[in-house]
Amino acid sequence: MDAAVVVLLGLMVLALAVAAGGDVVRGVRTRGTPAPSLVAPPPSRPRRLVLVRHGETEWSLTGQHTGRTDVPLLDEGREQGRAVRALLEGWHFDAILVSPLGRARETLELLGRDEPVTVVEDLREWDYGDDEGRTTKEIRADRPGWTVFADGPQGGETIEQVAARARRVLRVAAEHEGDVLVVGHGHMLRVLATCWTGLDPRAGAVLHLDAATVSVLDHIREQAVIRRWNVSG
């Protein structure tokens, strides 16, 4: 079977699994799970990653690609951060990893956590190069059909470079035995989830992630899974 067809089929299975609300094991849906509830973690405590995307900014609201530009949270984004705080009640984290960018660090402050925090440079958002601040519509005026996952930004990082950073973040998280909270950015966290599950990083294209949402990466026995995805307050 052609390699491109295999990748396409894998993406289709992953999209169906996440949309259906079940667990994802190496891109294959397992038994369906109840509606997400993050008020209290389950009693067994294998090491998990809990991902939080930062709250809304002016550029995320308008769909502008926001990589290295340090755009602050909107008032709405701050309210969203406080709502995420309630979702994380009952969790204890061995460590918190956060992007150095202000919108992620401010979101973390709104969560009101008291666990140890490490600022991780590799958690920065995708460097969009010449496409920084542009919307997909604007980019497609020059490059029809463009997507960041399939084509990458002009003059910025390749998806392979972003995935390499994501794998380094996972190695930092693996230094801790318990659960780890990761506060960062939409595209970076989507790539991080694919690296956790061993998928091609381009599979992040089907993992839509809204501002101020919680996702949980877990294990079922030895299998890396996406336990919850894009849960909002």
**Residue 219 annotated in active site:** no
- Angle 69-72-78 from CA coordinates, rounded to 5°: 145
What residue type is 24 in one-letter code? Answer: V
What single-letter DSSP state applies at residue 226?
E
Amino acid letter, 23: D
d(CA 154, CA 176): 36
Closest CA to 199 of 32, 20, 11: 11
Per-residue pLDDT of the chain (233 residues; tens, 9 = 90+): 444 433 444 544 454 444 434 444 333 333 333 333 343 443 333 489 999 999 999 999 999 999 999 999 999 999 999 999 999 999 999 999 999 999 999 999 999 999 999 999 999 999 999 999 999 999 999 999 999 999 999 999 999 999 999 999 999 999 999 999 999 999 999 999 999 999 999 999 999 999 999 999 999 988 999 999 999 98
R_g (Cα) of the chain, nearest Å: 17
pLDDT in tens, 29-75: 333 333 333 434 433 334 899 999 999 999 999 999 999 999 999 99
Residue 45 lies in a domain: yes
CA distance 210 to 34: 21
0.95 surpassed by pTM:
no
**Is residue 208 one of the residues assigned to a domain?**
yes
Count of domains in the chain?
Answer: 1
- Structural domain includes residue 218: yes
Q: Which two tokens stand for residue 89?
A: 């009640």
Question: Which CATH number does the domain housing residue 149 bear?
Answer: 3.40.50.1240
Task: Quickly count: other Cβ atoms within 10 Å of residue 148's Cβ.
Answer: 19
Write down the catalytic residue from 106, 125, 132, 157: 125
**Residue 98 included in any domain:** yes
The verdict on residue 11 lying in a domain is no
Instruction: Look at residue 81 and tell me if it is in a domain.
Output: yes
- Alpha-carbon distances of 221 from 76, 100, 201, rounded to whole Å: 39, 33, 23
Distance between CA atoms of residues 111 and 89, nearest Å? 10
Q: Please confirm, yes or no, whether 175 is among the known catalytic residues.
A: no
Taking the C-alpha atoms of residue 198 and residue 20, their distance in angstroms, rounded to an integer, is: 20
**23 lies in some domain:** no
Say if 151 falls within a structural domain: yes
Domain span including residue 94: 33-232
